[in-house]
Homo-oligomer: A and B are copies of this chain.
Amino acid sequence: MKMNFPELFHYGNYRVLKKKENSIFVEDLAPASAAVVTVYEGRLILVKQWRAAIGSYTIELPGGGLEEGENPEDGARRELLEETGLKCAEIHLLSTFHPQPYFTNRFSYLFFTNSILEQGSQSLDEDEKVTVESYAVSDVLDEIRLGNLQDSELAYGLFIAQLSGLIEP
């Protein structure tokens, strides 16, 4: 992306651009992340972590930002391994999606795997604290329907997996 809007502020990989008076875009210079809908022994593997931006814990897909020059599939495998210790064989792309197309160029590659080869241990950054949890698919769908889980990436990944017949409702 190259957006022709005045730059108001720049820090790290983030540029704040003036959309109009009192309104901004955030341009992320490393906009891509990857996350994985992971089915292992018939259950969904999800990660729980504190999200200061919304002041609560979330249950999300394993995933995170791609490294510079990293292939999306490699990034998805790396994030799955780092956050959950799970190594997978086949993995395939479901789609990409934009969390806030009105605000930022950020986007995410969503993958699916149900072929876990081995389970090792997490290797997190020093400031990361991520708990791995497994759930019945139907329980997660119920919690999304009831509004108890509210993360866009989790819902987007499960929606496509369901529409594609990869998980049962």
Residues of B within 8 A of A156 (CB): 152, 155-156, 159
A-side interface residues, number (CB < 8 Å): 60
- What distance in Å separates the Cβ of A99 from its nearest Cβ neighbour in chain B? 4
Q: Within A1-55, which residues are at the interface with B (CB < 8 Å)?
A: 1-3, 5, 8-9, 11-14, 16, 18-27, 51-55
- What distance in Å separates the Cβ of A137 from its nearest Cβ neighbour in chain B? 12
Contact in complex: B99, A152 (CB < 8 Å) = yes
Residues of B within 8 A of A145 (CB): 95, 160, 163-164
Chain B's closest residue to A141 (CB) is B163
- What distance in Å separates the Cβ of A164 from its nearest Cβ neighbour in chain B? 6
Count of identical protomers in the assembly: 2
Contact in complex: A101, B151 (CB < 8 Å) = yes
In the complex, whether A106 has a CB less than 8 A from a CB of chain B is: yes
In the complex, whether A147 has a CB less than 8 A from a CB of chain B is: yes
Contact in complex: B9, A150 (CB < 8 Å) = no
Contact in complex: B3, A107 (CB < 8 Å) = no
Set B105, B144, B152: member contacting A98, Cβ < 8 A = B152
Contact with B along A94-106 (1 / 0, CB 8 A): 1111111111111
